[in-house]
């Protein structure tokens, strides 16, 4: 007998991931969508671990509750009370999130972070390479 499959929405799934991270355990999730192209493609798997002191730094990729939805996006600015996030696959549309609403981080290699800095620098013109990435991925 096959196990029963159940489909749940992103909000419910990410709420479970948030709770697991708050308990101190890492979470593996499958990426859906193109908001983190070219670094994470739809269908790729990422591991989120709980936030530690010093993790909320520019260029890191975090999971946060942006109010309207949970997002896994890159930090582009950090202040004492808030962080600003932007998906790598987005040219506009940032999220401003309270630091307490950030629950997990993706450990990225130094090479990944180096290319992320370049990609962020290309923000004014990155819609052109993004169009190509979306077609081939």
Query: Which contacts of 120-123 are long-range, i.e. CB under 8 A and separated by 24 or more positions?
Result: 120/59, 120/74, 120/76, 120/86, 123/86, 123/91
Q: Which domains does the chain have, with CATH numbers?
A: 10-136 (2.10.109.10)
Q: How far apart are CA 95 and CA 63, in angstroms?
A: 12
Residue 113 tokens read as: 């972070």
**What pLDDT was estimated at residue 11?**
85
pTM: 0.88
Q: Are 87 and 71 in contact (CB under 8 A)?
A: yes
Tens digit of each residue's pLDDT (9 = 90 or more) over 31-70: 888 888 888 988 889 999 999 999 999 999 999 999 888 9
* pLDDT at position 94 over 80: yes
Categorise residue 86: left if φ over 0, alpha if ψ from -120 to 50, beta otherwise. beta
């Amino acid at each position: 007998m096959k196990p029963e499959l159940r489909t749940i929405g992103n909000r419910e799934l990410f709420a479970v991931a948030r709770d697991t991270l708050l308990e101190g355990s890492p979470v593996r999730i499958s990426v859906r969508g193109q908001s983190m192209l070219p670094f994470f493609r739809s269908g790729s798997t990422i591991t989120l671990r709980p936030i530690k002191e010093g993790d909320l730094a520019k260029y890191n990729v975090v999971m946060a509750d942006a109010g309207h939805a949970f997002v896994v996006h890159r930090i582009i600015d950090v202040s004492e009370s808030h962080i600003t996030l932007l998906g790598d696959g987005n040219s506009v549309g940032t999220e401003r999130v309270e630091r307490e609403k950030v629950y997990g981080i993706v450990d990225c290699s130094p090479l990944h972070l180096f290319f992320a800095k370049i990609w962020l620098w290309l923000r004014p013109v990155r819609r052109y390479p993004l169009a190509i990435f979306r077609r081939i991925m």
